[in-house]
Amino acid sequence: MKERVKRSFSRSAENYDEVAQLQLLAGERLLRRLELFENPFPLLDLGAGTGKLTPEGGVCLDIAPKMAERCRERGRAAVCADAERIPFKESSFKTVISNFALQWTELHRSLKETHRVLKEGGYFLLSIPVEGSLETLFKCWREVGSSLPLFKFPEEREVFEKFKELFEVVEFERFTVKKEFKSAREAVKAVNGVGAKNPFGRPKRGELLRFLEIYSKEPMVEYRVLLISGRKV
Protein backbone atom coordinates (compact mmCIF):
# COMPACT_ATOMS: atom_id res chain seq x y z
CA MET A 1 0.00 0.00 0.00
CA LYS A 2 2.82 2.39 0.85
CA GLU A 3 4.33 2.17 -2.65
CA ARG A 4 0.94 2.93 -4.17
CA VAL A 5 0.57 5.99 -1.92
CA LYS A 6 4.09 7.17 -2.82
CA ARG A 7 3.41 6.92 -6.57
CA SER A 8 0.01 8.58 -6.29
CA PHE A 9 1.30 11.63 -4.43
CA SER A 10 4.29 11.96 -6.76
CA ARG A 11 1.97 12.09 -9.77
CA SER A 12 -0.08 14.81 -8.09
CA ALA A 13 2.85 17.03 -7.11
CA GLU A 14 2.66 19.39 -10.09
CA ASN A 15 -0.95 20.46 -9.51
CA TYR A 16 -1.22 19.79 -5.77
CA ASP A 17 -1.39 23.42 -4.62
CA GLU A 18 -4.27 24.19 -7.02
CA VAL A 19 -6.37 21.26 -5.82
CA ALA A 20 -5.54 21.00 -2.10
CA GLN A 21 -7.73 23.91 -0.96
CA LEU A 22 -9.18 22.18 2.12
CA GLN A 23 -5.86 20.68 3.16
CA LEU A 24 -4.22 24.11 2.95
CA LEU A 25 -7.02 25.69 5.01
CA ALA A 26 -6.33 23.22 7.80
CA GLY A 27 -2.59 23.85 7.48
CA GLU A 28 -3.04 27.59 7.81
CA ARG A 29 -4.79 27.05 11.15
CA LEU A 30 -1.85 24.98 12.29
CA LEU A 31 0.62 27.70 11.26
CA ARG A 32 -1.27 30.30 13.29
CA ARG A 33 -0.26 28.35 16.39
CA LEU A 34 3.33 28.34 15.24
CA GLU A 35 3.27 32.16 15.27
CA LEU A 36 3.16 31.96 19.09
CA PHE A 37 6.71 30.60 19.12
CA GLU A 38 9.52 33.12 19.36
CA ASN A 39 11.97 30.77 17.64
CA PRO A 40 10.69 27.34 16.50
CA PHE A 41 13.89 26.38 14.63
CA PRO A 42 15.30 23.93 13.79
CA LEU A 43 11.93 22.77 12.44
CA LEU A 44 10.83 19.67 10.53
CA ASP A 45 7.69 19.57 8.37
CA LEU A 46 6.60 15.93 8.33
CA GLY A 47 4.72 15.02 5.15
CA ALA A 48 5.38 18.48 3.76
CA GLY A 49 3.87 17.94 0.32
CA THR A 50 5.08 20.73 -1.97
CA GLY A 51 6.43 22.77 0.95
CA LYS A 52 3.86 25.52 0.47
CA LEU A 53 3.19 25.65 4.22
CA THR A 54 6.74 25.00 5.39
CA PRO A 55 8.18 28.09 7.12
CA GLU A 56 11.33 29.51 5.57
CA GLY A 57 14.27 27.81 7.23
CA GLY A 58 12.31 24.62 7.91
CA VAL A 59 13.23 21.15 6.61
CA CYS A 60 10.70 19.26 4.49
CA LEU A 61 10.21 15.50 4.61
CA ASP A 62 7.88 13.65 2.24
CA ILE A 63 7.62 10.07 1.08
CA ALA A 64 6.89 11.10 -2.54
CA PRO A 65 10.01 11.96 -4.58
CA LYS A 66 8.23 14.57 -6.73
CA MET A 67 6.87 16.32 -3.64
CA ALA A 68 10.39 16.59 -2.23
CA GLU A 69 11.51 18.05 -5.57
CA ARG A 70 8.80 20.71 -5.38
CA CYS A 71 10.00 21.61 -1.87
CA ARG A 72 13.52 22.13 -3.17
CA GLU A 73 12.19 24.27 -6.02
CA ARG A 74 10.70 26.50 -3.30
CA GLY A 75 14.12 26.88 -1.75
CA ARG A 76 13.44 24.51 1.14
CA ALA A 77 15.81 21.82 2.33
CA ALA A 78 14.02 18.53 1.65
CA VAL A 79 14.48 14.80 2.08
CA CYS A 80 12.44 12.02 0.52
CA ALA A 81 11.77 9.59 3.35
CA ASP A 82 9.14 7.70 5.31
CA ALA A 83 7.68 9.35 8.43
CA GLU A 84 7.92 5.95 10.10
CA ARG A 85 11.72 5.99 9.59
CA ILE A 86 12.86 9.61 9.88
CA PRO A 87 16.51 9.85 8.72
CA PHE A 88 17.69 12.29 11.41
CA LYS A 89 19.47 11.78 14.71
CA GLU A 90 17.76 11.92 18.10
CA SER A 91 16.93 15.41 19.37
CA SER A 92 17.55 17.08 16.00
CA PHE A 93 14.59 19.48 15.98
CA LYS A 94 13.05 22.01 18.33
CA THR A 95 9.69 21.81 16.53
CA VAL A 96 7.93 19.29 14.29
CA ILE A 97 4.78 20.14 12.35
CA SER A 98 2.60 17.84 10.26
CA ASN A 99 -0.55 18.64 8.28
CA PHE A 100 -2.80 16.02 6.61
CA ALA A 101 -0.06 13.40 6.36
CA LEU A 102 0.11 10.97 9.26
CA GLN A 103 -3.25 9.35 8.48
CA TRP A 104 -1.28 7.47 5.79
CA THR A 105 1.13 6.02 8.36
CA GLU A 106 1.13 3.51 11.18
CA LEU A 107 0.53 6.11 13.89
CA HIS A 108 2.41 4.41 16.68
CA ARG A 109 5.51 4.32 14.45
CA SER A 110 5.36 7.86 13.04
CA LEU A 111 4.57 9.38 16.45
CA LYS A 112 7.40 7.44 18.08
CA GLU A 113 9.81 8.66 15.39
CA THR A 114 8.60 12.23 15.83
CA HIS A 115 9.26 11.94 19.56
CA ARG A 116 12.74 10.58 18.89
CA VAL A 117 13.89 13.47 16.66
CA LEU A 118 12.44 16.18 18.93
CA LYS A 119 14.62 17.90 21.48
CA GLU A 120 13.59 17.65 25.15
CA GLY A 121 10.89 20.28 25.69
CA GLY A 122 10.31 20.53 21.92
CA TYR A 123 6.84 20.89 20.42
CA PHE A 124 4.87 18.80 17.96
CA LEU A 125 1.95 20.44 16.11
CA LEU A 126 -0.27 17.88 14.36
CA SER A 127 -3.24 18.42 12.07
CA ILE A 128 -4.84 15.15 10.99
CA PRO A 129 -8.17 14.20 9.38
CA VAL A 130 -10.01 11.65 11.50
CA GLU A 131 -13.00 9.34 11.27
CA GLY A 132 -16.00 11.22 9.88
CA SER A 133 -13.95 12.72 7.05
CA LEU A 134 -15.38 12.27 3.53
CA GLU A 135 -18.62 11.18 5.17
CA THR A 136 -20.80 12.16 2.19
CA LEU A 137 -18.54 10.50 -0.36
CA PHE A 138 -18.28 7.29 1.69
CA LYS A 139 -22.05 7.18 2.23
CA CYS A 140 -22.65 7.40 -1.52
CA TRP A 141 -20.07 4.72 -2.19
CA ARG A 142 -21.72 2.34 0.29
CA GLU A 143 -24.99 2.76 -1.63
CA VAL A 144 -23.26 1.33 -4.71
CA GLY A 145 -22.76 -1.95 -2.85
CA SER A 146 -19.21 -2.55 -4.09
CA SER A 147 -16.93 -5.03 -2.34
CA LEU A 148 -13.93 -2.73 -2.85
CA PRO A 149 -12.81 -1.49 0.60
CA LEU A 150 -12.21 2.20 1.22
CA PHE A 151 -9.46 3.97 3.11
CA LYS A 152 -10.14 4.25 6.85
CA PHE A 153 -9.32 7.46 8.65
CA PRO A 154 -8.00 7.00 12.19
CA GLU A 155 -10.42 7.37 15.08
CA GLU A 156 -10.00 10.57 17.08
CA ARG A 157 -9.79 8.53 20.29
CA GLU A 158 -6.97 6.43 18.81
CA VAL A 159 -4.98 9.53 17.82
CA PHE A 160 -5.39 11.03 21.29
CA GLU A 161 -4.36 7.86 23.09
CA LYS A 162 -1.24 7.32 20.99
CA PHE A 163 -0.32 11.03 21.17
CA LYS A 164 -0.65 11.18 24.96
CA GLU A 165 1.62 8.15 25.38
CA LEU A 166 4.52 10.24 24.05
CA PHE A 167 3.67 13.94 24.47
CA GLU A 168 2.18 16.25 27.04
CA VAL A 169 -0.93 17.68 25.40
CA VAL A 170 -0.79 21.48 25.44
CA GLU A 171 -3.99 22.20 23.52
CA PHE A 172 -6.28 20.71 20.92
CA GLU A 173 -9.07 21.79 18.60
CA ARG A 174 -11.67 19.99 16.51
CA PHE A 175 -12.98 21.59 13.35
CA THR A 176 -14.37 20.73 9.93
CA VAL A 177 -13.27 22.05 6.55
CA LYS A 178 -15.71 21.43 3.73
CA LYS A 179 -16.78 22.51 0.28
CA GLU A 180 -19.71 21.68 -1.97
CA PHE A 181 -18.78 21.31 -5.63
CA LYS A 182 -20.76 21.87 -8.82
CA SER A 183 -20.52 18.22 -9.85
CA ALA A 184 -19.55 14.83 -8.51
CA ARG A 185 -16.58 14.70 -10.88
CA GLU A 186 -15.21 17.99 -9.52
CA ALA A 187 -15.61 16.73 -5.97
CA VAL A 188 -13.81 13.47 -6.75
CA LYS A 189 -11.02 15.45 -8.44
CA ALA A 190 -10.61 17.52 -5.26
CA VAL A 191 -10.01 14.28 -3.34
CA ASN A 192 -8.00 12.25 -5.85
CA GLY A 193 -6.19 15.23 -7.36
CA VAL A 194 -4.04 15.73 -4.27
CA GLY A 195 -2.85 12.12 -4.49
CA ALA A 196 -5.26 10.75 -1.90
CA LYS A 197 -6.54 7.90 -4.03
CA ASN A 198 -7.96 4.74 -2.51
CA PRO A 199 -4.87 2.60 -1.77
CA PHE A 200 -6.91 -0.61 -2.17
CA GLY A 201 -7.47 -0.22 -5.89
CA ARG A 202 -9.84 1.22 -8.47
CA PRO A 203 -13.57 0.49 -8.81
CA LYS A 204 -15.12 -1.20 -11.82
CA ARG A 205 -16.42 1.16 -14.48
CA GLY A 206 -20.06 0.32 -13.75
CA GLU A 207 -19.59 0.91 -10.04
CA LEU A 208 -17.89 4.24 -10.70
CA LEU A 209 -20.68 5.47 -12.97
CA ARG A 210 -23.31 4.46 -10.42
CA PHE A 211 -21.36 6.19 -7.66
CA LEU A 212 -21.07 9.43 -9.65
CA GLU A 213 -24.81 9.35 -10.29
CA ILE A 214 -25.56 9.05 -6.56
CA TYR A 215 -22.86 11.51 -5.46
CA SER A 216 -24.07 14.14 -7.93
CA LYS A 217 -27.07 14.79 -5.67
CA GLU A 218 -24.77 16.25 -2.99
CA PRO A 219 -21.15 16.56 -4.19
CA MET A 220 -19.75 17.57 -0.81
CA VAL A 221 -16.17 17.05 0.41
CA GLU A 222 -15.58 17.41 4.14
CA TYR A 223 -12.75 16.63 6.51
CA ARG A 224 -13.15 16.34 10.26
CA VAL A 225 -9.83 17.55 11.62
CA LEU A 226 -8.07 17.14 14.95
CA LEU A 227 -5.41 19.79 15.58
CA ILE A 228 -3.32 18.90 18.59
CA SER A 229 -0.20 20.48 20.09
CA GLY A 230 2.11 18.60 22.41
CA ARG A 231 5.45 18.92 24.19
CA LYS A 232 8.15 16.33 24.64
CA VAL A 233 8.83 15.88 28.34
Measured distance CA(192)–CA(176) in Å, rounded: 19
Q: Is residue 38 within 8 Å of residue 46, measured between CB atoms? A: no
**DSSP structure string for 84-117:** TS--S-TT-EEEEEEES-GGGS-HHHHHHHHHHH
Residue 167, pLDDT above cutoff 80: yes
Average pLDDT score over residue span 126-144: 95
Average per-residue pLDDT in the chain?
A: 93
Determine the 3-state secondary structure of 131 from DSSP: coil
pLDDT band at 138 (very low <50, low <70, confident <90, very high): very high
Q: How far apart are the first and last CA of the chain?
A: 34
Determine the 3-state secondary structure of 201 from DSSP: coil
Residue 5, pLDDT above cutoff 80: no
Whole-prediction pTM: 0.94
What pLDDT, on the 0 to 100 scale, is given for residue 148?
81
Q: Tens of pLDDT along 109-120?
A: 999 999 999 999
pLDDT band at 195 (very low <50, low <70, confident <90, very high): low
Determine the 3-state secondary structure of 29 from DSSP: helix
High-pLDDT (> 90) share of the chain, %: 79
DSSP code, position 121: E
Determine the 3-state secondary structure of 215 from DSSP: helix
pLDDT band at 196 (very low <50, low <70, confident <90, very high): low
